[in-house]
Amino acid sequence: MDNLPHDVLFQILSRLPISSLIQFHSVSRSCRLLAQYTQLFDPNHDHFRCLIFHSDFPIRNHLYFVDFPSLTQHKFSVKRIFTPFAATMPEYDVVGSCNGFLCLSDSLYNENLFIYNPFTRDYLELPKSKDFSNPDVVYGIGFHPQTKRLKILKIVYSKGFRRIQRRFHHSEVQVFTLGTSNWRSIGRIFHHLAQGQSPAAINGRLHWVSLPRRHYVGRTIVSFDLASEEFIDIPKPDYGSLSRCNFQLMNLNDCLSAVVYCSYGKMEIWVMEQYGVKESWVKSFNIGSYMPKGLKQEGTEMCFKVSKIVVKGRIVRVVCVLKSGEILLEYRNRALVVFNPSSGKFKDVSFEGMPNWFQTIVHFGSLNRIDALLE
Among 281, 285, 200, which Cα is nearest to 237's?
281
For 231, the 3-state DSSP assignment is strand
Tell whether omega for the bond before 58 is within 30 degrees of 0, i.e. cis: yes
Radius of gyration of the chain (CA): 21
Query: Using CA atoms, how far apart are residues 265 and 292, in angstroms rounded to an integer?
Result: 12
pTM: 0.85
pLDDT of residue 74: 56
Cβ atoms of 287 and 238 closer than 8 Å: no
Among 370, 374, 361, which Cα is nearest to 66's?
361
Between CA 251 and CA 1, with CA 16 as vertex, the angle to 5 degrees is: 155
pLDDT of residue 167: 46
Neighbours of 128 (CB within 10 A): 11
pLDDT of residue 273: 96
* CB burial readout 88-98, b (16+ within 10 A) else e: ebeebbbbbbb
Query: Using CA atoms, how far apart are residues 262 and 154, in angstroms rounded to an integer?
Result: 31
Cβ atoms of 40 and 366 closer than 8 Å: no
Tens of each residue's pLDDT in the chain, 375 residues: 556 666 666 666 666 666 666 665 555 555 555 555 444 445 455 567 889 999 987 678 999 999 876 565 556 789 999 999 988 898 899 999 998 899 999 988 777 899 999 988 899 999 998 777 767 889 999 998 888 889 999 999 886 544 444 444 478 999 999 989 999 999 999 888 987 788 999 989 999 998 877 656 678 899 999 999 999 999 988 777 777 668 899 999 899 999 998 887 889 999 999 999 999 999 999 999 999 987 755 445 445 545 666 656 578 999 999 888 999 999 988 899 999 999 999 999 988 898 988 999 999 888 777 887 776
Amino acid identity, position 2: D
Among 151, 140, 115, which Cα is nearest to 227's?
151
Between CA 89 and CA 216, with CA 154 as vertex, the angle to 5 degrees is: 125
Return the bridge partners of 317, or none.
330
Among 149, 230, 143, which Cα is nearest to 186's?
230
Neighbours of 264 (CB within 10 A): 6
pLDDT of residue 40: 44
For 121, the 3-state DSSP assignment is coil
pLDDT of residue 77: 84
